[in-house]
Structure 1
């Protein structure tokens, strides 16, 4: 199955968040079979944020009498609280 670039980005974010990058169980196909709704939500959130916040590094934007303020740390392609609630808890890696 071919995945779009946006789906690949979302899957990489999920793998990093869950600490399963090297885990053979958590393949791209496994994530798409079980968490496709999370992948779609990450893409939807990212597109919405990019439309509102087109340039990285801008802290405040004002146009006429309208301004937009974002919560700290809200960026495109991040795990937000709504996304985290749809995923299992991240795995803890133990090193000896």
Structure 2
């Protein structure tokens, strides 16, 4: 999007005192609320400086686990309780650990 000039890229801010849209076409950027010129950006309307453009969110900012990572967490808990479909050795070891925990009550 950026500040490129397009015929349909006019500022969509409603100027109530004039009873019309701003319609400025220079420096228009796309925001969640629509296209806005530098005078009518959300920051400008609040009297704040514009946030400088940056590289975006870092890759680790997304906290949503992948299905594989989520299943690994569930598998670790299931192995500890002895309920996971696993190798025979792993299953028996988890069962023994769980039986030992129960016997210690």
The verdict on a shared fold, with TM-score over 0.5 as the criterion, is no
Q: Which structure is higher in helix share? A: 1
Larger Rg: 2
Q: TM-score, normalised on structure 1? A: 0.24
